[in-house]
Amino acid sequence: MASNGVNGEIPEDANEHCPGPQSESAGKADACAGCPNQEVCATAPKGPDPDLVSIAERMATVKRKILVLSGKGGVGKSTFSAQLSFALAEADRQVGLLDIDICGPSIPKMLGLEGHDIHQSNLGWSPVYVESNSNLGVMSIGFMLPHPDEAVIWRGPRKNGLIKQFIKDVYWGELDYLVVDAPPGTSDEHISIVQFLQASGIDGAIIVTTPQQVALIDVRKEISFCRKVGIKVLGVVENMSGLKQHLLDLKFSRVSESGSETDVTEWALNLIREKAPELLNTFACSEIFDSSQGGAQKMCLEMGVPFLGKVPMDPQLCRAAEEGRSCFGDKSCSVSALALKGIIQKLIALE
């Protein structure tokens, strides 16, 4: 094992997809070819990573650990993680939200915590707590960047090292839930979080998707990953399940044959007020993604995993995420908040 890979740590100069210096395939796997540490790793004595003991001790105060996964990016996974955490905290649970999307950390913005720094105490790194709810603490690489636009260009070993540090060195205290927001797909970050938390137990994973087949293809792979590494799939959430918007929030337009567009919102709403005022209290619904083949619900039936429910695409929920606040105290988010509450109640029922 190389000198910069002490205590089983993956050296920073290791190849991508390094199996780890304590692995039986260290220095022998295809991923090790050409690595500067290859010979040392191949001949070094193997043994358990001593940090796993420290991690198990740290996680002993956490009752439930839930991973939030997605097959693709852009399906609203982090929005779901943020609102799930808000809801659990508002239900008087002590909640930690760990953002391990190292290259795309959006959680600080979605919880209104941009610009905050990590502080250290004699117990370890302290999570950043949401001002409106002290039950909810957050940890993310987003708090460590000198500027929110700063790109994180790290290879697998360095990302994995930071994830281990988050698990080992952050002092969460007593938690009812640790929600882990993972990047899309099944990559090094997913393997690392499973490896680091497996000894203390992972209660399961929630997978977020959109209804169309292009997204569901990758969700099937996500379910396969969970089964291979021994993680229970708590259920699948179909997000952006049609657009549902109050009629008064719609904009109306006329498009000419040449393609020019004219806003006629005021005219249309005045006409509705005059001719059909009962429509003013209705919602307009439209299918954004093709769900003609049954969407996530049918896929769950085929794959034998629970279907937790559908959350419509709601511009008010998007606005709440942009502004870093909970959607549950906002009457304008009634459509999405009601759907999310139904899903979250199913998770709480598993306690």
Enumerate the known binding-site residues for ATP. Answer: 71-78
Mind giving me the DSSP string for 123-178? TEEEPEEETTEEEEEEEEGGGT-SSTT------HHHHHHHHHHHHHHB---SEEEE
116 vs 108: CA distance, rounded Å: 8
Report whether 77 contacts 208 (CB < 8 A).
yes
Closest CA to 252 of 275, 238, 239, 268: 268
219 vs 216: CA distance, rounded Å: 5
Residue 45: partners with Cβ closer than 8 Å, 6 or more residues away: none
Residue 189: partners with Cβ closer than 8 Å, 6 or more residues away: 100, 101, 102, 159, 160, 163, 182, 183
Count other Cβ atoms within 10 Å, centred on residue 212. 18
- Binding-site residue ranges: 18, 32, 35, 41, 71-78
- Binding-site residue ranges for [4Fe-4S] cluster: 18, 32, 35, 41
Report whether 69 contacts 190 (CB < 8 A).
yes
251 vs 167: CA distance, rounded Å: 47
Q: Helices H, strands E: what count in the chain? A: 11, 13
